Structure 1
Amino acid sequence: MRELSAVPDARADIASLRAAGWQGRCVRDIAPRPAKRPGRRCCRSRRPEEGTSMLILIGVRNGERFLGPQLDSLRTSGVASWTLWASDDGSSDGSLAMIQRFASTLEDGPCSVVTRHGPQQGFAANYLSMLADLPDVPGHVALADQDDIWLPKRLGRAVRMLNRLPSTVPAFVYGRRFDWGPKPGRMRPSRLPRGRACFANALVENVAFGNTLVLNGAAARIARQAAPLANGIYSHDWWLYQLLTGAGAISLMDREPSVLYRQHEGNAIGAQGSLADWTRRKIGVARGLYAERVQAQLNALQSCSAFLTPENQEILSLFISARQAPWPRRVREMRRAGIFRQSLDGTVGFWGAVLLGRI
């Protein structure tokens, strides 16, 4: 396999890997190896996460009320050095000043902050703009939200998982989080997916939460190449889950919750755990809101179809055809494409939407 630095385009990377016999695969879980204890006759070797180049992307808009704890939590992320790209999307509060004060506390150490201006076209477009501007040969890339708190060592675990794979193979870590609110004791871990992370699942739901995502350099390079093509998407992390699984990237799940996902009235997308949330979602499906979001993601995926494996290109084509077919054929083609959701209630809701033509 050729090294990424020798190939000018991510699509060429994918083509060269496939020519060598790699078809892409999904992995349910690769646990990080425990650190070895130093022996008496040798010194402790450097842990892999200590030498890793890490870029953290955070979109910011009027986040002053919550941003401080998130920034502070980066210090205990488990990697020795990182660079934070903070893209301010037109804040009218003190968010940018808070980020600059945080940057000044890092002084001349191994961590740094770069501030930039977002396109002011929504949170998804803000993250896409950062992905499109990644270096030609990026290192590991993590995503962060302005109102969360990272739990200690989360990046260190992700790096150890990714570093067990060849650097030329696209891979990403996703994981669980704690959904928590302002009331004391209101905290619950997100569900464990029942099935594997794959393209047939990614077409209809996102289980790779953006605030848990860490991409290796090969996966980040695919995202960099494809981001300028993904106009009008509903959700950047859902698109990343679709793009990377569609391109055959290896998906690694960190079963240990890594983020406190704050629930408040300003969430762009909430955890949706209450009965009221469930009811609102079903009403939205009936009104066609879910179908509109799926269509927005599909438009971007069709623009990025050159990055998908032949198998996943066929699944995408079947899914698009099924959405437009009369209901008996719609059901058959959805089943033929292998489309599924991870939870029982999600599965029931999905097939109900299929029957009603609201998918």
Structure 2
Amino acid sequence: MLEKKVAILMSTYNGQRYLNEQIISIVNQTYGNWHLYIRDDGSKDNTQSMIREWERKLPDKITFFNKENVKNIGVVKSFMDMFSNVNAEFYMFSDQDDVWKKDKIEKSVNAMLSQEYTKRPICIHTDLQVVNSKLEGNEVMNGDKIWHDFQHLLFSNCITGCTMLINQVVKDMIDFENINYTRVYMHDWWIGLICAEFGQIVYLKEPLILYRQHGDNVVGSYKKNTIRHLIYRATHQVPERKHMRRVISIASEFDKFYGNKMSGKDRSYVHEYGKLTNSANFLGDLLLGMRLVPQRMSPKGKIFFTYLMTVYNKDLKGL
């Protein structure tokens, strides 16, 4: 049976240090029918010349997507620009500084082929092995701490873009021309919500990517709900407020495109939380948090989100 064509979409920005290592890991995949499209977002280092050299060496496998029009548009629009203009049966996203295990594409495609991928939006995603800049480290990012229902994904995305494989049905559901990308924090979050609401999300617990994190104290830094982490959250609320604004923004934008196709509580969540961009106030937000409880993974998280949107309700107006 012929392999399905997989388009791999990579966005780069000043990535010369690790780019070759990532591309080599893609070239060495056990799955053969892939094509890598690389869009550079205005790099100032040697990244563009490196992409040109790879395209010269492997013209049938690698394309410098925007070599005649290099400009900075931001990571979300960069990925979505490629996604909207490239055609394949399945699509994957790639960061510029990770390393893919050799069977990443093969195992992801096999999981997709076991689904009804011609009928509804499907997202396959995997776990990640967290490593430092030297690819050292054995801890995994997610393990069993994964949620796929729409309401939990709305308040906290757990699907990492560089682990995803998605089908054509997902692409057909996206209005690329009219999305307000400033209200969509990341492309993987938007795609995950579409699949959670209208299709299916499948998780492969095996880590199929070396997820490079930079800095000396990265491994373990993502662990949640430790005493230290909770104290930090309570005393450093700017990042939490920023996340709250992103949740409300993406709820409003999702409601605009898909609200009339939804029903039940999922519809209520995107509509009621999305409306806070125009109607946020202390009492109203408190009542909303009690009626449609923010779906976080812990009771503390639910209470904390409600606290943020009531106390900092002015953050939400005019988003």
Question: Shorter-chain TM-score category?
Answer: 0.7 to 0.9
Corresponding residue to 1:151 among 101, 114, 118: 101
Match of 2:62 in 1: 112
Does the 8 A contact of 1:226 with 1:304 survive in 2?
A: no
* TM-score (normalizing by structure 2): 0.80
What whole-Å deviation, never above 9, does each CA across 1:311-348 have from its counterpart, x for those lacking one? 4333312434687562652332223xxx4234x4xx52
| d(CA) in 1 for partners of 2:144, 2:238 | 22
1:317 is the counterpart of 2:271: yes
Distance 1:325 1:143, change over 3 A: same
Shift of 1:280: 5.8
| d(CA) in 2 for partners of 1:68, 1:277 | 35
Match of 1:57 in 2: 9
Match of 1:262 in 2: 212
Match of 1:177 in 2: 128
Does the 8 A contact of 1:173 with 1:254 survive in 2?
A: yes
Match of 1:23 in 2: none
- Amino acid corresponding to residue 169 of structure 1 in structure 2: R
- Amino acid corresponding to residue 51 of structure 2 in structure 1: I
For 1:65-144, list aligned pairs within 5 A. 65-106=17-58, 108=60, 111-116=61-66, 117=69, 120-135=72-87, 138-144=88-94
| d(CA) in 1 for partners of 2:303, 2:20 | 42
Distance 1:182 1:83, change over 3 A: closer
For 1:187-226, list aligned pairs within 5 A. 187-194=138-145, 196-223=147-174, 225-226=175-176
Corresponding residue to 2:288 among 330, 341, 349: 330
RMSD value over aligned CA atoms? Answer: 3.0
Does the 8 A contact of 1:230 with 1:301 survive in 2?
A: no
| d(CA) in 2 for partners of 1:130, 1:324 | 39
Which sections of structure 2, spanning at least 5 residues, go unmatched? 314-319
| d(CA) in 1 for partners of 2:86, 2:45 | 27
Corresponding residue to 2:255 among 296, 299, 302: 302
Shift of 1:177: 0.3
1:241 is the counterpart of 2:188: no
User: SS at the partner of 1:260?
Assistant: strand
Match of 1:250 in 2: 200
| d(CA) in 2 for partners of 1:245, 1:227 | 22
| d(CA) in 2 for partners of 1:255, 1:70 | 22
Distance 1:94 1:157, change over 3 A: same
Distance 1:104 1:199, change over 3 A: same
Does the 8 A contact of 1:243 with 1:308 survive in 2?
A: no
- Amino acid corresponding to residue 65 of structure 2 in structure 1: T
Match of 2:317 in 1: none
Q: How many residues are matched?
A: 295
Corresponding residue to 1:292 among 245, 252, 266: 245
| d(CA) in 1 for partners of 2:50, 2:151 | 41
Shift of 1:140: 0.1
Match of 1:354 in 2: 306
| Bigger Cα displacement from structure 2, 164-173 vs 186-195 | 186-195
What whole-Å deviation, never above 9, does each CA across 1:202-256 have from its counterpart, x for those lacking one? 1111111001011012123223x3464142022222222123323x121111110
Does the 8 A contact of 2:89 with 2:168 survive in 1?
A: yes
| d(CA) in 2 for partners of 1:315, 1:93 | 44
Distance 1:171 1:74, change over 3 A: same
Does the 8 A contact of 1:193 with 1:207 survive in 2?
A: no
Match of 2:295 in 1: 340
Which sections of structure 1, spanning at least 5 residues, go unmatched? 1-45
Does the 8 A contact of 1:55 with 1:85 survive in 2?
A: yes
- Amino acid corresponding to residue 254 of structure 1 in structure 2: L
| d(CA) in 1 for partners of 2:206, 2:36 | 24
Does the 8 A contact of 1:128 with 1:228 survive in 2?
A: no
What whole-Å deviation, never above 9, does each CA across 1:106-142 have from its counterpart, x for those lacking one? 255xx3324214652321221122223244xx41000
| d(CA) in 2 for partners of 1:193, 1:76 | 29
| Bigger Cα displacement from structure 2, 63-72 vs 283-292 | 283-292
Does the 8 A contact of 1:103 with 1:113 survive in 2?
A: yes
Does the 8 A contact of 2:31 with 2:105 survive in 1?
A: yes
* TM-score (normalizing by structure 1): 0.72
- Amino acid corresponding to residue 128 of structure 2 in structure 1: R
Shift of 1:58: 0.7
Q: Which has the higher contact order (CA 8 A, sep 6+)?
A: 1
Match of 2:316 in 1: none
